[in-house]
Amino acid sequence: MKLLELIDIFGVVAFSITGVFAAMEKKLDLFGIFIIAFVTAMGGGTLRDVLIGDLPVKWIRTTNYSIIILVSTAVAVIFNKVIRNLQRTLFVFDSLGLGLFTIVGIERGLYHQLHPGMCVALGTLTGCFGGVLRDILLNTIPIIFHKEIYAVACILGGTVYFILLKTGLDNYTIVIISILVVFVIRILAVRYQLSLPDIYKKTTRKV
Amino acid sequence: MKLLELIDIFGVVAFSITGVFAAMEKKLDLFGIFIIAFVTAMGGGTLRDVLIGDLPVKWIRTTNYSIIILVSTAVAVIFNKVIRNLQRTLFVFDSLGLGLFTIVGIERGLYHQLHPGMCVALGTLTGCFGGVLRDILLNTIPIIFHKEIYAVACILGGTVYFILLKTGLDNYTIVIISILVVFVIRILAVRYQLSLPDIYKKTTRKV
Amino acid sequence: MKLLELIDIFGVVAFSITGVFAAMEKKLDLFGIFIIAFVTAMGGGTLRDVLIGDLPVKWIRTTNYSIIILVSTAVAVIFNKVIRNLQRTLFVFDSLGLGLFTIVGIERGLYHQLHPGMCVALGTLTGCFGGVLRDILLNTIPIIFHKEIYAVACILGGTVYFILLKTGLDNYTIVIISILVVFVIRILAVRYQLSLPDIYKKTTRKV
């Protein structure tokens, strides 16, 4: 499963860096930047583990994640301008990470024998709620609540996962395909600026 | 206990719809509206279960609540204008729900053999903290911290519950009376615009 | 261990009063003020217990903390002006409490056989995240993310704790010294307005 471990690391790195950039926009100090990076990368999985009762949360039992996030934060702060020029690469990692985190969340739900719908919800939460917690800490309304369609990619990827489960494909193939579904939808959504149907026609957004 | 199940459902519906309205005021998209509705309805009970350690939280083990909230959200978004005209009915459901959630929280505390004062605190938290989490996600100071006396109704209703426990009345009667106490206090508070004593005399509120 | 119990109480009192002052600045009502005081004093330890899975959280199993916080809140609201003149005393208690809470968090981590780095992280979280939750509830960006160096004092004090562990000193002495390290660093930081290195040179802070 070396490929998945690699995606996991790249995902954590990309999520952390997103956090660093958001924190620097609010002029936080180094400690604040690190905490925001950490929350962005680990927040979704942490909330999932707390709600399920898988405690202690996984990042407390190992130093691996903390070290990855610490290094990512340092690099993103020091080589800020260089990394800002790698937006496209970062976006690819971020989207792959989103896909992986979603599937990890789903499989955690399956392990606890939850309903498929709940598994997809847990997967979405794993992928998306790091960003929600980041935005709350930065005192803004979470961006996925009014702009990006992050969550829809997770929900569709998760649904594909359950459809594939019935085909008898081996688990590894199913996981890879589902991650790619999340990845592709996210890429297309940003490329073509897709958003959920606007229910406030002819009004201006005030957020 | 069919009556209590009915109140539970009506309460969840009313809390969800409150969440939908608050989310629409901030112009959230459909995903954001659903999450806010969910958090408003389930947030208090979720926080209670996490603090006590009753994990996984109950709404993960069943799809019932998610479906009720999903349907309530859809109806509230589609028939927005109609439902806004039902404010009074909604308010009745909301207040009954507040009463029930409070008592459910208290009984969960009793089950864990907590001190009566802590049980009342847990009941209040169950009834009120969905709204607190909703307001945090919507980036405003929780309304019950400076305006509504939501919490006082829960605390008084919870106190009545423990007084009645000593009378030897059967549990069902005690529960119904306590719910009604919360309900009536809430109705009176809104009707007569009761609020906690103002400790900032002669100053203007700046929230 | 009577000294440590005393520091614990004084710490809770000081943290609560900090919460009361912050809540009154936002013109919250009495219920809101109490909740903010409670969250400031208990929030860090609560988050730590939830992440580790030490549930129910400790303040639910006893009424002691709630009573201390309730009394502190009442006193701080009623004798507001008097207590504002005791800023220096409060600051001493607050810094001692910060030290104690940090060490308590570390020892909880050790009990769960966590890595020293994670123990220090848990200690810092125990000391600092009450204030973070307070600021989130009051709808501002947590102050320790951009201004105060609260966290650095915890991290250094925690590091000293682990260095002393290797000296073979008895536990009580190690705890007292570590608390004093946190205390002194905090005092010096405020006295000489120390802050983390500014990474936004020649720009104005906009927070």
Nearest to A52 among B30, B36, B55 (CB): B55
pLDDT tens digits, residue range A163-183?
A: 999 998 999 999 999 999 999
Contact flag C138-B141 (C-beta cutoff 8 Å) = yes
What the block records as the tokens of B39 is: 């958090």
Cα angle at A110 between A105 and A113, to 5 degrees?
A: 135
pLDDT tens digits, residue range A113-137?
A: 999 999 999 999 999 999 999 999 9
Could you tell me which chains touch chain B, where touching means 3 or more CB pairs under 8 A? A, C
What is the distance in angstroms between the Cα of C48 and the nearest Cα belonging to chain A?
A: 10
pLDDT number for residue A1: 58
Residue B113 burial class via C-beta count within 10 angstroms: exposed 0-12, middle 13-18, buried 19 and up: exposed
Residue B31 burial class via C-beta count within 10 angstroms: exposed 0-12, middle 13-18, buried 19 and up: buried
HEC assignment per residue over B81-148 = HHHHCCHHHHHHHHHHHHHHHHHHHHHHHHHCCCCHHHHHHHHHHHHHHHHHHHHHHCCCCCHHHCCC
What is the distance in angstroms between the Cα of A60 and the nearest Cα belonging to chain C?
A: 6
Total of domains in chain C: 1
Dist. CA A10–CA A204, nearest whole Å? 38
Dist. CA B56–CA C53, nearest whole Å? 12
**Cβ neighbours for C144, distance < 8 A, ≥ 6 positions apart:** A31, A32, C128, C131, C132, C150, C151
Contact flag A31-C139 (C-beta cutoff 8 Å) = no
Contact flag A55-B55 (C-beta cutoff 8 Å) = yes
pLDDT number for residue C84: 85
**Cβ neighbours for B185, distance < 8 A, ≥ 6 positions apart:** B152, B153, B156, B157
B56 at C interface, C-beta within 8 A: no
Nearest to A136 among C55, C136, C146 (CB): C136
Q: How many helices (H) and strands (E) does chain B have?
A: 9, 0
Instruction: Collapse the DSSP code of A166 into the 3-class scheme (helix H, G, I; strand E, B; otherwise coil) and give the result.
Output: coil
What the block records as the tokens of C44 is: 């860090």
Cα angle at B34 between B130 and B6, to 5 degrees?
A: 60
Contact flag C137-B139 (C-beta cutoff 8 Å) = no
Residue B207 lies in a domain: no
pLDDT number for residue C105: 95
Contact flag C30-B199 (C-beta cutoff 8 Å) = yes
Residue A146 lies in a domain: yes
Please tell me the number of Cα atoms within 13 Å of B90 on its side-chain side.
18
pLDDT > 90 fraction of chain A, expressed in percent and rounded: 74
Contact flag A66-C140 (C-beta cutoff 8 Å) = no
Contact flag B50-C55 (C-beta cutoff 8 Å) = yes
Residue in the block written with tokens 């006893």? C62
**With 80 as the cut, is the pLDDT of residue A205 above it?**
no
Q: How many helices (H) and strands (E) does chain C have?
A: 9, 0
Contacts of B27 in chain A (CB under 8 A): 146, 200, 203, 205-207
pLDDT > 70 fraction of chain A, expressed in percent and rounded: 97
Size of chain B in residues: 207
According to DSSP H, which parts of chain A are helical? 2-25, 30-52, 58-61, 64-78, 80-84, 87-111, 116-137, 150-165, 171-191
What the block records as the tokens of A173 is: 């193939």
Residue C149 lies in a domain: yes
pLDDT tens digits, residue range C110-124?
A: 999 999 999 999 999
Dist. CA B187–CA B185, nearest whole Å? 5
Residue A206 lies in a domain: no
Q: How many CB pairs under 8 A join B and C?
A: 79
pLDDT tens digits, residue range C90-147?
A: 888 889 999 999 999 999 999 999 999 999 999 999 999 999 999 999 999 998 888 7
Residue A81 lies in a domain: yes
Nearest to C145 among A28, A55, A66 (CB): A28
Contact flag C141-A136 (C-beta cutoff 8 Å) = no
Residue A72 pLDDT grade (very low, low, confident, very high; cuts 50, 70, 90): very high
Which B-chain residues 86-125 have CB contacts (< 8 A) with chain A?
none
What the block records as the tokens of C142 is: 């947590």
Residue in the block written with tokens 């790698």? A86
pLDDT number for residue B1: 58
Nearest to B63 among A112, A117, A141 (CB): A117
Dist. CA B66–CA B42, nearest whole Å? 9
pLDDT number for residue C196: 82
Contact flag C50-B50 (C-beta cutoff 8 Å) = yes
B57 at A interface, C-beta within 8 A: yes
Which C-chain residues 22-51 have CB contacts (< 8 A) with chain B?
23-24, 26-32, 35-36, 46, 50
Dist. CA B172–CA B175, nearest whole Å? 5
Are A162 and A120 a contacting pair, CB within 8 Å? yes
Contact flag B51-C53 (C-beta cutoff 8 Å) = no
> Per-residue pLDDT for chain B (207 aa), expressed as one digit of tens each?
588 888 889 889 999 999 999 999 999 999 999 999 999 999 999 999 999 999 999 999 999 999 999 999 999 999 988 888 888 888 888 899 999 999 999 999 999 999 999 999 999 999 999 999 999 999 999 988 887 788 999 999 999 999 999 998 999 999 999 999 999 999 998 888 888 888 887 555 444
Cα angle at B133 between B130 and B134, to 5 degrees?
A: 85
Instruction: Collapse the DSSP code of C25 into the 3-class scheme (helix H, G, I; strand E, B; otherwise coil) and give the result.
Output: helix
Nearest to B29 among A52, A139, A146 (CB): A146
**With 90 as the cut, is the pLDDT of residue C4 above it?**
no
Q: Residues C17-22: contacts with CB within 8 Å, 24+ apart? A: C17/C72, C17/C76, C17/C83, C17/C90, C18/C90, C18/C94, C18/C131, C18/C134, C19/C73, C19/C130, C19/C134, C20/C72, C20/C73, C20/C76, C20/C77, C21/C76, C21/C84, C22/C134, C22/C135, C22/C138
Instruction: Collapse the DSSP code of A191 into the 3-class scheme (helix H, G, I; strand E, B; otherwise coil) and give the result.
Output: helix
Which residue range is the domain that position C21 belongs to? 2-191
Q: ipTM score of the complex?
A: 0.90
What's the pTM?
0.92
What's the Cα-to-Cα distance from C106 to each of A15, A67, A76, rounded to whole Å? 28, 19, 29
Residue C62 lies in a domain: yes
**With 80 as the cut, is the pLDDT of residue C205 above it?**
no
End-to-end CA distance of chain A: 43
Q: What is the mean pLDDT of chain C?
A: 91
Residue A202 lies in a domain: no
pLDDT number for residue A3: 82
Cβ–Cβ contacts within 10 Å for residue A159, how many?
15
**Cβ neighbours for C177, distance < 8 A, ≥ 6 positions apart:** C160, C164, C169
Dist. CA A161–CA A155, nearest whole Å? 10
Contacts of A141 in chain B (CB under 8 A): 26, 28, 137-139
Are B133 and B45 a contacting pair, CB within 8 Å? no
pLDDT number for residue A123: 96
What is the distance in angstroms between the Cα of B78 and the nearest Cα belonging to chain C?
A: 31
What the block records as the tokens of B89 is: 């009915």
Residue in the block written with tokens 């809104």? B190
